[in-house]
Structure 1
Amino acid sequence: MPAASPWWTPDVHADRRGFLLGRNRIQAALRGFFAARDFVEVDTATLQVSPGNEAHLHAFATSAINHDGSTAPLYLHTSPEFACKKLLAAGEERIACFAHVYRNRERGPLHHPEFTMLEWYRAGENYETLMADCAAILALAAETGGAKQLTYRDRQADPFAEPERITVAEAFDRFAGIDLLASIDRTGDTDRDRLADALRSAGLRVAEDDTWADLFSRVIVEKVEPNLGHGRATILYEYPIAEAALARPTRHDPRVAERFELYACGVELANAFGELTDPTEQRRRFQMEMTEKTRVYGETYPLDEDFLAALAIMPQASGSALGFDRLVMLATGAPRIDHVIWAPVAETDPHDGGRA
């Protein structure tokens, strides 16, 4: 089959241009949204000493060459989160950031190795406030894009309707018939075998080397996510502590955390936390994540010691990360993420010397 024409050919660009102009309008509207609420827009550095410490996120690595010729490892960040939280520690109270972020091993209709993350943080405010922010952002993006419905493939969601709210435990029960919390004790420790038995009873595959986290993810991907964000957006909240490395526990149940994700049309759009500010606990969780990364992928990333030090003086806060390109896709009806990125990263062919 002949190769597809590059994005920069006039005919391909003409097909994409309406989506791209919609992107610009939506970005301008969101900048106005945050400015009207007294947020300061910040611009964070892309190069960081740590790209993030979640087991299944993969970074692009590089190195800095010092004046004496020595080198030091650096990474393109997977999120501006560490830098934004340092700014909260510095005294900022409401900040928003449109950041180009980089994730390796990710490419497809909803994934691109370089994409735009919209992150915003509220010091001294709870994560329920971010749920209201997300609902308002969906409505504003649709209104600006001229869409009465958010669409992706054959799915639609009303962006002006109040999002459905469902806990992760409720979703496991409703969509898989599984009692998730029965596999988690009051310390947050998980019982792999108990969850495995529940998956088998629900007719789901269980492998001998599956961890509790593997089993949790299988239920989310196969049973829960396909049912979210139909007709209206869904807020899936109160993730298990083991699946919320940067979030604080809820006050009413130490097994679950102040974490939610926003879905529309079956697409994950945002991930939000009531932020963990205990540096000792954060270090412990990061070390657990990096142990898992080493087990699964044979690699690890360093911890950002400045970030952990900043947590000690960071105020209580809540923060959200939203995939801006995905939001634009749903609000403009674009079929793929690269249709709403002005200059997509070329996909290289290993058999032609790297030429796209």
Structure 2
Amino acid sequence: MNEWRPDKLARRLPNLQARARLQAAIRQWFIDQGFVEVETPILQVAPGAEVHLSGFATDWETPDGEEEQVRWLHSSPEFAMKKLLAGGLPKLFQFARVFRNGEGSALHHPEFTMLEWYRAGAGYETLMEDCAALLALAGVRELRWEDNRCDPTATPERLTVAEAFDRHAGVDLLATVGNGEKLAGQAGIAMHADDTWDDVFFRIMFDRIEPKLGMGRPTILCEYPITMAALARAKPGDPRVAERFELYVCGVELANGFGELTDPAIQRARLQADMDEKEHLYGLRWPIDTDFLAALDHGLPASSGIALGFDRLVMLATGAAHIEDVLWLPVR
């Protein structure tokens, strides 16, 4: 409590000054690249499309006296920014305040800053190049998390998810998709009651793979199984995997990018399936943003987009041990 007190603020101030410098450098980089900075509403019809996240809801009291309407604090500005893509903006970025309920750890906070950007007419490989450029803007010799180190100027390693599971867990991942017992058997781990393939995947991912990524140099983990990329398009030539990648530094997931799915029918079906799964697992479902679907019907251009955890990047640049060490005022 009382994180505004001079003694407590002074301890965080070097990190916060570094945060301000890095944000200014990133903003200038995007402007130099011809991007426009946008601001989209925090209040949304739906917080997002994630199956396993929990959201913050609020009541909107309309001025005409009609019945209150539920609105959500967004977990990402993705839907809104894609509407602007459909409206004709070719390159846009945003430092967005986003909200995820039930989160709190050294790397998680219920309110945090997400840097999100989109490029019309560009493949997701271009986003990988963007990530390398932004890491170099950190202005430090090494990025740090716990005892791990990473050179922010080094060319990132590109590793497919299947290659990572083979290298670090001895698993032929794509041969097991949909069969949790087969995946667990290949990895030599026990199945828990009611485990799904996804459950086993994430247990292996968190325990055996993530701690090995981004050591010495950044890692771009790409080509996720298509079932794990609701908003990404299938990779041309291999429909088993999606044009999705994540950026890892020092074992920390830093960014999640897609070659965007533009087919309205497929997107509708995936959103419906995700909300069905959310209801099955947690007994609730989020609304589907029909205005987002209308934007897809109008026509989303071939594009790519990515979200990067800005607070985490500041942590890595300053060596901070906890996300609250790089926030001006943590939520209390």
Instruction: Report the TM-score, using the length of structure 2 for normalisation.
Output: 0.97
Shift of 1:197: 2.4
1:249 equivalent in structure 2: 234
Select which of 153, 166, 170 maps to 1:160. Answer: 153
Maintained 8 Å contact 2:247/2:256: yes
Maintained 8 Å contact 2:218/2:247: yes
1:133 equivalent in structure 2: 130
Residues of 1 paired with 2:232 and 2:186: CA distance?
A: 31
Q: Quick one: which amino acid aligns to residue 333 of structure 1? A: G
Select which of 15, 20, 23 maps to 1:24. Answer: 20
Select which of 69, 79, 95 maps to 1:72. Answer: 69
Maintained 8 Å contact 1:150/1:156: yes
Alignment: residue pair count:
330
1:119 equivalent in structure 2: 116
2:313 equivalent in structure 1: 327
1:223 equivalent in structure 2: 208
Residues of 2 paired with 1:201 and 1:92: CA distance?
A: 46
1:188 equivalent in structure 2: none
2:255 equivalent in structure 1: 270
Residues of 1 paired with 2:274 and 2:133: CA distance?
A: 33
Residues of 2 paired with 1:154 and 1:6: CA distance?
A: 30
CA displacement, residues 81-108 of structure 1 (integer Å, 9 cap, x when unaligned)? 0000000000000000000000001111
Residues of 1 paired with 2:292 and 2:163: CA distance?
A: 34
SS at 2:235 equivalent: coil
* Unaligned runs of at least 5 residues, structure 2: none
Select which of 76, 95, 102 maps to 1:98. Answer: 95
Maintained 8 Å contact 2:176/2:182: no
Maintained 8 Å contact 2:183/2:197: no
- Indicate how the Cα distance of structure 1 residues 161 and 267 shifts in structure 2: closer, same or farther if over 3 A, else same: same
Residues of 2 paired with 1:220 and 1:37: CA distance?
A: 35
2:7 equivalent in structure 1: 11
2:53 equivalent in structure 1: 57
Residues of 1 paired with 2:91 and 2:217: CA distance?
A: 28
Shift of 1:201: 3.6
Correspondence 1:39-58 to 2 at 5 A: 39-58=35-54
Instruction: Report the TM-score, using the length of structure 1 for normalisation.
Output: 0.91
Runs (4+) of structure 1 exceeding 3 A deviation are none
Residues of 1 paired with 2:109 and 2:257: CA distance?
A: 21
Select which of 297, 307, 313 maps to 2:282. Answer: 297
Shift of 1:339: 1.0
1:85 equivalenced with 2:70 (yes/no) = no
Residues of 2 paired with 1:166 and 1:219: CA distance?
A: 16
SS at 1:12 equivalent: helix
Select which of 195, 214, 217 maps to 1:232. Answer: 217
Shift of 1:208: 3.2
Shift of 1:222: 1.2
Maintained 8 Å contact 1:239/1:256: yes
Residues of 2 paired with 1:256 and 1:223: CA distance?
A: 21
2:168 equivalent in structure 1: 175
Shift of 1:200: 2.5
Maintained 8 Å contact 1:100/1:117: yes
Residues of 2 paired with 1:326 and 1:35: CA distance?
A: 22
Structural RMSD (CA)? 1.0
Shift of 1:183: 2.3
Q: Quick one: which amino acid aligns to residue 175 of structure 1? A: H
Maintained 8 Å contact 2:76/2:98: yes
Residues of 2 paired with 1:289 and 1:173: CA distance?
A: 28
CA displacement, residues 183-236 of structure 1 (integer Å, 9 cap, x when unaligned)? 24xxxxxx22xx422323422231231112111111111111111011111000
CA displacement, residues 34-67 of structure 1 (integer Å, 9 cap, x when unaligned)? 0000000000100000111110121100111122
Q: Quick one: which amino acid aligns to residue 37 of structure 2? A: E
Maintained 8 Å contact 1:104/1:113: yes
SS at 2:288 equivalent: coil
